[in-house]
Amino acid sequence: MNLETEQREQTFYITGMDCASCAATVEKGINRLENIELASLNFSAEILRVEGDVPPEKIIARVRELGYDVTDQSPVSSPQPPVSNRHSPATSLLPFMWQRTNTRLALLGAVLALPGLIFNEFLPMLGLESPWLNVTSVAATAVAGFPVFRSAWRAVKINREININVLMTIAAIGAVIIGAYTEAGLVMVLFAIGEALEGFTGAKARESIRSLMAVAPNEATVLRPCLDCAGHLGQDGYSGGPCPFCGLEEQRVPVVDLQVGETMVVKPGERIGMDGRITAGTSSVNQAPITGESKLVAKEVGDEVFAASINGEGALEIEITHLSTDNTISRLINMVAEAQERRAPAQRFVDQFARYYTPAVVVLAALVAVVPPLFFGASFTDWLYRALALLVVACPCALVISTPVSLISAISNGARHGVLFKGGAYLEALSRVQAMAFDKTGTLTAGRPSVIRAQSIHCEGADICEPCNELLALTSAVEQRSAHPLAEAVLAASAQRGVNGRYPAAADVQTMTGSGVTGEVNGRQVTVGSHTYFDENIPHDDFCPLVAAADDAGYTTMLVSDGDKFAGFIAVSDAVRPSSRAALSELKQLGVSPLVMLTGDNQATAAKIAAEVGVTAVRANCLPEDKVTAVSQLREQHGQVAMVGDGINDAPALATASVGIAIGSTAQAMETADVVLMGDDLRALPFALRLSRAAMRTVQANIALSIGVKLAFLGLVLAGLGSIWLAVLADVGVSLLVTVNGMRLRKWPFARTG
Catalytic residues, by residue number, are 439
Gap between the Cα atoms of 405 and 664, Å rounded: 28
Decide: 388 and 726 in contact? Cβ < 8 Å: no
Which of 561, 565, 482, 568 is closest to 528 using CA atoms?
Answer: 561
Q: Which residues contact 738 (CB under 8 A, 6 or more apart)?
A: 398, 401, 402, 405, 702, 705, 706
Using alpha carbons, list the distances in angstroms from residue 673 to 336, 398, 422, 665: 14, 33, 8, 11
Q: Which residues contact 478 (CB under 8 A, 6 or more apart)?
A: 506, 509, 517, 518, 519, 521, 526, 527, 528
Determine which helix (DSSP H) or strand (DSSP E) holds 169, and give its type and residue range: helix 164-177
Decide: 509 and 482 in contact? Cβ < 8 Å: yes
Decide: 233 and 241 in contact? Cβ < 8 Å: no
Using alpha carbons, list the distances in angstroms from residue 307 to 3, 50, 218, 262: 26, 31, 11, 15
First to last CA, the chain: 47
Count of H-run helices and E-run strands, the chain: 25, 27
Angle of the 164-177 helix axis to the 131-154 helix axis, nearest 10 = 150
> What's the chain's length in residues?
754
Order of strands across the sheet with 565-573? Answer: 450-456, 565-573, 556-562, 524-529, 516-521, 507-512
Using alpha carbons, list the distances in angstroms from residue 116 to 103, 125, 352: 20, 13, 39
Bridge partners (DSSP) listed for residue 286: 296, 310
Label residues 190-206 b or e (16+ Cβ within 10 Å = b). Answer: bbbbbbbbbbbbbbbbb
Question: Which residue type, as a one-letter code, is found at position 388?
Answer: L
Question: Which residue type, as a one-letter code, is found at position 361?
Answer: V
Which of 680, 657, 529 is closest to 600 using CA atoms?
Answer: 529
Decide: 337 and 404 in contact? Cβ < 8 Å: no
Question: Which residue type, as a one-letter code, is found at position 721?
Answer: L
Pairing of strands 675-677, 659-663: parallel
Gap between the Cα atoms of 597 and 444, Å rounded: 9
Gap between the Cα atoms of 368 and 420, Å rounded: 49
Q: Which residues contact 361 (CB under 8 A, 6 or more apart)?
A: 390, 391, 393, 394, 714
Using a 10 angstrom Cβ sphere, with 0-12 exposed, 13-18 middle and 19 or more buried, the burial of residue 589 is exposed
Q: Which residues contact 154 (CB under 8 A, 6 or more apart)?
A: 65, 66, 67
Residue 316 gets the label, from left (phi > 0), alpha (psi -120 to 50) or beta, of: beta
Read out DSSP for 231-300?
A: TTTTGGG--SSB-TTT-EEEEEEEGGG--TT-EEEE-TTPBP-S-EEEEE--EEEE-HHHH---SEEEE-
Using alpha carbons, list the distances in angstroms from residue 749 to 273, 410, 574, 684, 754: 28, 11, 32, 11, 11
Gap between the Cα atoms of 387 and 364, Å rounded: 8
Pairing of strands 435-439, 595-598: parallel
